[in-house]
Amino acid sequence: AFYYEDLSRTFSEFLLVPGYSPETCIPSAVSLKTPLVKYRKGVEEPALTLNVPMVSAIMQSVSGVKMGEALAREGGIAFIFGSQSIEDEAEMVRKVKRSKSGFVESDSNITPDSTLNDVIALSQKTGHSTIAVTDDGTLNGKLLGVVTSRDYRVSRMDGNEKVSSFMTPFEKLIVGKEGITLSEANDMIWEHKLNQLPIITEDGRLSSFVFRKDYSEHKANPNENLDSKKRYIVGAGINTRDYKERVPALVAAGADCLCIDSSEGFSAWQKNTLAWIREQYGDSVKVGAGNVVDAEGFRFLAECGADFVKIGIGGGSICITRETKGIGRGQASAVIDVAKARDEYFKETGIYVPICSDGGIVYDYHMTLALAMGADFLMLGRYFARFDESPSNKVNVNGVYMKEYWGEGSFRARNWQRYDMGGKKNLSFAEGVDSYVPYAGSLHDNLEVTTSKIRSTMCNCGALSLEEFRNKAKLTVISPTSIVEGGAHDVLLKDRSEVK
Ligand code: MZP
């Protein structure tokens, strides 16, 4: 047998050591943008990127239509669960793609006289990151500009300032610029962190939109409905059994990205699935693969044509694979190993294949550590299952609100395809459990806190982008006694809820 020299380690065994933070390194200046799919780094832009490095798990109890809408709105992506009929999964994808996005409903009453606080409150209430301001506060009125809540300009404004003055930079840039070039529009989109750039004529009419995804320009009819211009991006899970029927249905439904959902991805079945997709669709259909836990597994899937590679076996909160089968690897060791393999693969081929750390995140700081160790983005189950937007029931257990959360390998999910290696069906055994997780409220509120913690730690390490972060990060393995030292200790806690 081959023996790995290092111990199999997990996130709680590491800490980041701060680096120098220049004055420019403030949380509002940090970008969490990250590639979702492979690309020739330095030569082209990735076809799909995320503004927050988080995707929701391909699970019945996590990723349905509401999760799809809510996470896309925040700049991430949900992967609709595949352990359902092809028709039902395709319908969920269609529903997310059909949903309205971008601008708030016409009863929002945000007019040029509204204050910034009004806009912030509305944005928090609705979860909309871009708010249109029209002359009469309805979507039928004249569009005067847009306010984006996510660009943190608000932090530099006086809270009582009128929206109209806040909009000034937009008006200066956009109004009367009907003839701007696509590259000028592109610059503005990045500068203002917009997904789409409305171009407005002198008299306030909408003349066209430029989209971030491909910078294509869409000529608008001046009376065109604003709700109709933008579509959420959404992913969907597939398996290595019925992919010849499932993939075409999901592509037709508008899925932006697919992912092979399997507990163990270093296999001929994943190779065959990827080969078939490339044969049928070339590179136009984006598909991730996994899961693997070492460099060998990564290289195999990268060479098979995966658009991203997912890491993690046995670390999921509801997972008992390590107990039942004795396979897996500590999630931190797996991420560190695979990140090295990704970088070597990039040096050799010029192709950057993003990697996703899947499962095992308990605290928000685990996400930060996974990103420091080289993960491009994270897949989370338990984290998202706690929110209003997950599809499971909210129940009262002994006076405390909980959400149900069950593994795809549990008897409840019966997702045997995820674990199938051929053989008799009656020999299937559970690799996951059915559980409760504490209800935590809305996705928007929680994600805002989580990402602000990540931004803050990145600043402690002197990094403004995720790439800079993993290059600058200094990590130390910690002893069991320093773990004790890291929590509140030797005091009698008054309120445990303050400890998160
Ligand atoms: P977590 O975020 O709850 O810790 O882990 C979520 C991940 O666990 C999923 O993305 C998936 O890879 C994995 N999973 C899902 N179901 C099971 C199971 O039943 C499982 N064993 O391990």
**How far is residue 91 CA from its own chain's centroid?**
21
Asked if 345 and 353 touch (Cβ cutoff 8 Å), the reply is: yes
Residue 419, both tokens:
């674990």
Q: Which class for 87: exposed (0-12), middle (13-18), buried (19 or more C-beta within 10 A)?
A: exposed
Q: One of 304, 319, 356, 461 is an active-site residue; which one?
A: 319
Q: Beta strand pairing status for 308-311 and 287-292?
A: parallel
Q: Is the CB of 237 under 6 A from ligand 1?
A: no
Q: Is the CB of 25 under 6 A from ligand 1?
A: no
The domain segmentation of the chain, as residue ranges, is 11-99+233-486, 106-223
> Which atom number of ligand 1 is nearest to the Cα of residue 314?
22
3-state DSSP of 186-198: HHHHHHCCCCEEE
The helix/strand/coil state of 219 is strand
Q: Is the CB of 321 under 6 A from ligand 1?
A: yes
Q: One of 150, 418, 455, 470 is an active-site residue; which one?
A: 418
Q: Is the CB of 358 under 6 A from ligand 1?
A: yes
Please state the pTM of the whole predicted model: 0.78
11-99+233-486: which CATH architecture? Alpha-Beta Barrel (3.20)
| Dist CA 403 CA 384 (whole Å) | 10
145 is in an annotated binding site: no
Residue 406, both tokens:
């069950």
Asked if 406 and 432 touch (Cβ cutoff 8 Å), the reply is: yes
CA distances from 268 to 188, 290, 431 (A): 46, 12, 22
Confidence at residue 495, expressed as pLDDT on a 0 to 100 scale:
78
418 flagged as catalytic: yes
314 is in an annotated binding site: yes
Confidence at residue 392, expressed as pLDDT on a 0 to 100 scale:
94
Question: Does the ipTM surpass 0.85?
Answer: yes
The helix/strand/coil state of 263 is coil
Distance 371 CA to ligand 1 centre (A): 19
Return the residue whose CA atom lies nearest to atom 8 of ligand 1. Answer: 316
356 is in an annotated binding site: no
| Dist CA 212 CA 46 (whole Å) | 12
Please name the fold of domain 106-223: CBS-domain (3.10.580)
The helix/strand/coil state of 80 is strand
Instruction: Among 54, 59, 325, name the best residue to mutate to test ligand 1's pocket (greatest count of ligand atoms within 8 A of Cβ).
Output: 59
Distance 314 CA to ligand 1 centre (A): 8
Distance 306 CA to ligand 1 centre (A): 20
| Dist CA 259 CA 289 (whole Å) | 6
Asked if 71 and 54 touch (Cβ cutoff 8 Å), the reply is: yes
Q: Which class for 215: exposed (0-12), middle (13-18), buried (19 or more C-beta within 10 A)?
A: middle
Q: Is the CB of 316 under 6 A from ligand 1?
A: yes
DSSP state of 455: H
Residue 144, both tokens:
């005067």
Residue 421, both tokens:
């290696």
Collect the ranges in the chain with pLDDT lower than 50: 101-106, 149-159, 168-178, 201-205, 222-226, 228-229
Q: For tokens 């044509």, what's the residue?
A: 305
The helix/strand/coil state of 378 is strand
Q: What sign has the CA pseudo-torsion 372, 375, 381, 386?
A: positive
Q: Is the CB of 318 under 6 A from ligand 1?
A: yes
246 flagged as catalytic: no
179 is in an annotated binding site: no
257 is in an annotated binding site: no
Residue 235, both tokens:
């992913």
Q: Is the CB of 250 under 6 A from ligand 1?
A: no
312 is in an annotated binding site: yes
| Dist CA 430 CA 171 (whole Å) | 59
Q: What sign has the CA pseudo-torsion 240, 241, 243, 249?
A: negative
Distance 407 CA to ligand 1 centre (A): 6
Q: What sign has the CA pseudo-torsion 280, 285, 289, 294?
A: positive
> Which atom number of ligand 1 is nearest to the Cα of residue 315?
4
Distance 359 CA to ligand 1 centre (A): 6
Residue 261, both tokens:
């959902």
Distance 488 CA to ligand 1 centre (A): 30
| Dist CA 422 CA 403 (whole Å) | 34
| Dist CA 367 CA 360 (whole Å) | 10
265 is in an annotated binding site: no
Q: Is the CB of 93 under 6 A from ligand 1?
A: no
Confidence at residue 215, expressed as pLDDT on a 0 to 100 scale:
55
